[in-house]
Amino acid sequence: MIGPLLIFDKSFLQMLNPEEVSELSLHFKFVGTPTLIGEIIADLKLEPSKRRLPSEVVQALSRKMQKAHGLLPANYRKLALANIYAHEIPMIGQVPVDGAAPNVRVTEDRRGLLYDSTPEQILWNRWANGEFSTEDELTATTWRNGIDQIDLDGLAALWKNFSLRHFSSTRNQDELASALDVFLRDSAPSVQREILNMTLDLMKASAQHRRVAHALMNIGEMRSVLEFAPYAASVLRLFLAFVCGLARGFIGPRPTNYIDLQYLYYSPFCMVFVSNDKFHREMWGATSGVHSFVWGKDLKEDLRGRITMRAQMKESTGGVANKEDTADAAVTPPSVIAKMWGTHMRVRDKPDQPERARTFENLAPEIQQQFKNAMKEFDKIDRAQKR
């Protein structure tokens, strides 16, 4: 399915029933995040309730993810460090995957990249069936303990002097985001060095990474962190908006806010970000990229309306409903989905579209060869995994 690239958080996933997840898949192409995977498995160590066991909660969410998983971006820290090393990280709704991951293979001519989603499919299928390994249990415990140890009051106190020194005149989170833009664009060498050091600290950079980054600044290659490494600067901007917002009292000290912040680090890699968490809505002004924020409740209502409309169409046509013509379904009637398609996708009129090939033999020769090359690469991955 071709559609706007969509990232969603756990709050939105919890709102949807399986039918709504299926409808969502007709209109968007999903992008996963490591944060969502961690949040879901962390529920394995929830306090049991009278209605559901923790394992049942994870199973229910995993069943939804069987239809909603997508490309997984590389870890944001790895991407930010690569950006500081002068590697371009796209921030226009493209997904930068980890070329070193075992399920990713770069073709021999370096012109193609193959992503095998089988590991994610196996993961969600296993969890949906209630099959949890010792490693899953350990991951869940680590996540849950990590949340319990988050001290946002202490973090706010740590950044209080910095926020007062630079942003004492701000009155709300939006003004803070604007002031951060001014701060990051300050051309004074001392300020840029401070920005670089904060970025390297946030990325947990090694001594070697720090030496290279400082060398680039010392020789004049990196005069501005924002201009030289825009993705790394976007991560720092979000972090500073968070910690200074805490220090200024614009954001509440709910421990899970620190986890929710990490979803936003991946927002440049989608076209649409959907959440039903007020924290994400309040922080959206501090994100960077070519993307849109959608409130979860609004998108759910749109999905419900489309499900009803589809059922009515099916009834009126004697049980036949066209699910393949997704572009038409996305542009009518006016809705959240229609707006996102209109903003991020170019829907061409049918007369302008070439006739689709019905068999492999009908494809253009160069496309046939690309498929054959891709299958060879996937065979190599399979053989490597079996060793």
Mean pLDDT of 237-255: 95
The CA-to-CA distance between both ends of the chain, in Å, stands at 33
Mean pLDDT of 141-166: 94
Mean pLDDT of 186-195: 96
Query: What is the structure's pLDDT at 381?
Result: 58
Please state, in angstroms and rounded to a whole number, the distance separating the CA atoms of residues 67 and 88.
Answer: 31
Query: What is the structure's pLDDT at 329?
Result: 47
Please state, in angstroms and rounded to a whole number, the distance separating the CA atoms of residues 291 and 286.
Answer: 12
* 112-127 pLDDT tens trace: 677 777 788 889 999 9
Query: What is the structure's pLDDT at 192?
Result: 97
- State the DSSP string of 64-111: HHHHH--B-PPPHHHHHHHHHTT-----SS-----TTSTTEEE-TTSS
* 36-57 pLDDT tens trace: 999 999 999 988 876 789 999 9
99 or 289: which leads in pLDDT: 289
What percentage of the chain exceeds 90 in pLDDT?
Answer: 68
Show the CA angle centred on residue 263, arms to residues 273 and 288, nearest 5°: 65
Contact indicator for 285, 87 with CB cutoff of 8 Å: no
Nearest Cα neighbor of 113 from 126, 131, 94 is 94
Nearest Cα neighbor of 60 from 35, 45, 40, 46 is 40
Residue 10 has pLDDT above 60, yes or no: yes
When mean pLDDT is compared across 271-275, 295-299, 329-333, 364-368, the lowest value belongs to: 329-333
Alpha helix ranges (H) inside 168-295: 173-184, 189-202, 207-218, 225-228, 230-248, 256-265, 278-283
Q: Supply the pTM of this predicted model.
A: 0.85
Query: What is the structure's pLDDT at 227?
Result: 96
